[in-house]
Structure formats: C-alpha cells, structure tokens
Amino acid sequence: MVLLASGAPSAIVATGFGILTVHLAFQHSNLDYRVGWLRHFLGVAEIHRWHHKRDFEDAQVNFGEFLMVWDRLFGTFYDSSGELGEAEVGLHERDYPKIAWHSLGIQCVPRRKAELADKKQPELLSKEIFEVERQPFIHS
C-alpha cells in the first residue's frame, strides 16, 4: 500500500503484491521450513505460527506480514525454540469442514439464506464432515 500511495509505477506495485502473495502462502502453509537467523527479521512460518495459537492472549504476537520491524518496535515480537503442537494452533470452535465446496460456497450467499440451507441439510453439519484430517508438519 505504501508503494501505491507513493505513486510507484503499476509494474512495481504489481510485482510487490506478487512477492507478498507468495510469501504469505508460505507463511500460512503447514510447512516446517527454517531460515536460520533471518527469522528475526522476516515474518516466516516458524515465527508467524505463534500468532495463530488457540489461546487469544498468547496469540497477540508476530503480526508482521513480511518484515518483523513493527513487531520488534512495538514489543510484539516473540521467538521461542519450542515447537507448537497441532492442538495448539487454530480455532477453538469447530474445525473447517472436509468438503471445501461447502465452506467456500457458503461465503457466496447471504447469511440468513446460508443458515436456512444448513437447517434443511443437517448432514452438511454432521460430525464426520467437520472432522479435519490433520497433517503433521513436514520436517526438512
């Protein structure tokens, strides 16, 4: 946004957003990659993962999208050598459904209509569908 507001050429802005998009995909992926000392400056998965802890109070750290400059400046940077387990990351509420088309499609209809559809089709809300097959982190 800073690039856009500063009047940078559209090609530069598009390239910046492209790089940020790829970076955010890696940052929010379930990959356990390590970047060594760069983790103190870049918002990589091993650092940003702490921001997604289930406990709200503990998750108020590592907000940075790309650089950890603001987190360091405002005291919200957190780095721990401990690893987060699968049960410690994500939402306390029910997990996402196995059927992706339902979770994506439900975003395209008004809320009231979606609630009625769920009442008419209770099988979409059954426990089996909402169980998530958890994948372990990929260690390198």
Cβ proximity of 68 and 43 under 8 Å: yes
At 90, the amino acid letter reads: G
Q: What is residue 18's predicted lDDT score, i.e. its pLDDT?
A: 93
Residue 95 has pLDDT above 60, yes or no: no
129 pLDDT band (50/70/90 cuts)? Answer: very low
Which CA distances in Å does 125 have to 7, 33, 88, 106, 119? Answer: 48, 35, 24, 12, 9
Residue 10 has pLDDT above 80, yes or no: yes
Q: What is residue 28's predicted lDDT score, i.e. its pLDDT?
A: 84
Residue with token string 């907000």: 63
Q: What is residue 140's predicted lDDT score, i.e. its pLDDT?
A: 46
Q: What is residue 99's predicted lDDT score, i.e. its pLDDT?
A: 56
The residue that leads in pLDDT, 38 or 98, is 38
The residue that leads in pLDDT, 107 or 130, is 107
CA dihedral over 28, 33, 34, 38, signed as positive or negative: negative
Measured distance CA(67)–CA(137) in Å, rounded? 23
Residue 64: phi and psi, rounded to 5, are -55, 135
Per-residue model confidence as pLDDT tens digits over 37-92: 888 898 888 888 888 888 888 889 999 888 899 999 999 999 876 667 666 777 66
Measured in residues, the chain has a length of 140
Residue 8 has pLDDT above 90, yes or no: no
Per-residue model confidence as pLDDT tens digits over 16-37: 899 989 988 888 887 778 888 8
